[in-house]
Structure 1
């Protein structure tokens, strides 16, 4: 099976479902997808398996492939995040991610100050200083690479494997903001300093200061992005009765 064909089928269907072109309840037939995408049945079958794993569709015998509502999707999967950031729900996705990060990253920074290995602490220091250089130079691509690495190290350095498993989500957030023009060409000096403050506090083993500086980063991020999501509705996930 061609990996590129499989990828194209997943991307084509995923973006249309998340973007609302294929609405909740819409039923697709495998044979129609073969014709539409000009791929084999095996490619369609594998693409549908991926979409099922993300909670986007379900297959029903003698009916077809049905699109599921948004509250059934896996909101933590990087693919779902990427597709939401590319569509009209961009604001709502940014809000959810920013709120998640604001709840997790300051705690992760505090934990990293107490638990991170020495090599990670030093790398974090080096990256925070390199971020300032890239930000001042307006090197967007380099800054994105460093920013992703910085936040990944903070999550990993916490020593909490569940926090570390949010690295993919943070990566898609930062990448999406850059790709869609939602990051300034020259980051604010105060924001750059807060990253250095986080790194210095973790390096020094000062948990409360690391948490406070990380919290400042997230408060700034939320204030910066809030206008984008003002009119976007929230997703309320039904709670099953026990």
Structure 2
């Protein structure tokens, strides 16, 4: 396996740093929140304010008012607005201002928007919606991966499952998150379906948000860890039915956990 495709480097890409279990970054719409700079600061405040409903749909935000509120130049505000426009959160019209769009128009799959919504009062509903999406997609992806995964991906799944087990025994949630995110990303990529693969960032944000906002138990569930090991075994054995059923158990377990921790 090349260095670029090694488990270590994949995990570094998944988390943004080799030692960090922070949120996954990297999409075009996420550019403004991933780095430093004034427009990043504006986005970090204005984005969540829109996502939380502080600025409800139909609200008109004046550029000059935003300049005053955030103490930045018009250029900085326009940079931030361009990112929000790419996410379909707002639209700009000359002589009108920046209007917050209807929630039905938002790009709900954008990782930054997912992160903002998970940080707000809508967290339980958002987690349930996203976990239900996972339950619809990931079992099918696991079944496809059993047929399509290459030997390197099979080895990586086995290694990641083992590392999840080790982190679980140590009750190391940060390390567990790193390996869990990487495991599910490999499953989606190994499915051979490019649409499923593009959901890797979405799943990563769900897993990250669940950990960051303490919507999971203090230590990983040993039964869930065992299921990940068994999924890896089923993919390696080319047992599509078992891989699909086991991944479904993982997703159903995540939904049950939400019933307890985020009713």
TM-score normalized by structure 1? 0.92
Q: CA deviation at 1:229?
A: 5.7
1:119 paired with 2:152, answer yes
1:22 paired with 2:55, answer yes
> Whole-Å Cα distance in 2 between the matches of residues 51 and 227 of structure 1?
34
RMSD (CA atoms): 1.5
> Whole-Å Cα distance in 2 between the matches of residues 84 and 200 of structure 1?
35
Q: CA deviation at 1:183?
A: 2.0
> Whole-Å Cα distance in 1 between the matches of residues 216 and 259 of structure 2?
13
Q: Which residue of 2 aligns with 1:56?
A: 89
Mapped contact 2:215–2:262 kept (Cα < 8 A): no
* Aligned length, in residue pairs: 230
Q: CA deviation at 1:226?
A: 2.6
Q: Which residue of 2 aligns with 1:67?
A: 100
Secondary structure of 1:58's counterpart equals strand
> Whole-Å Cα distance in 2 between the matches of residues 107 and 54 of structure 1?
28
Q: CA deviation at 1:124?
A: 0.3
Q: Which residue of 2 aligns with 1:32?
A: 65
- Residues 110-161 of structure 1: CA deviation (Å, up to 9, x unaligned): 0110001101101100110110110110111100000000000000110111
- Which consecutive residues of structure 2, in runs of 5 or more, have no partner in the other structure? 1-34
Secondary structure of 2:99's counterpart equals strand
> Whole-Å Cα distance in 2 between the matches of residues 229 and 48 of structure 1?
32
- Residues 66-124 of structure 1: CA deviation (Å, up to 9, x unaligned): 11121111010001100010001101111111111001100100011000110110110
Mapped contact 2:90–2:101 kept (Cα < 8 A): yes
TM-score normalized by structure 2? 0.84
Where in structure 1 do 4 or more consecutive aligned residues deviate above 2 Å?
226-230
> Whole-Å Cα distance in 1 between the matches of residues 108 and 262 of structure 2?
17
> Whole-Å Cα distance in 2 between the matches of residues 28 and 152 of structure 1?
38
1:8 paired with 2:79, answer no
1:139 paired with 2:165, answer no
> Whole-Å Cα distance in 2 between the matches of residues 132 and 121 of structure 1?
17
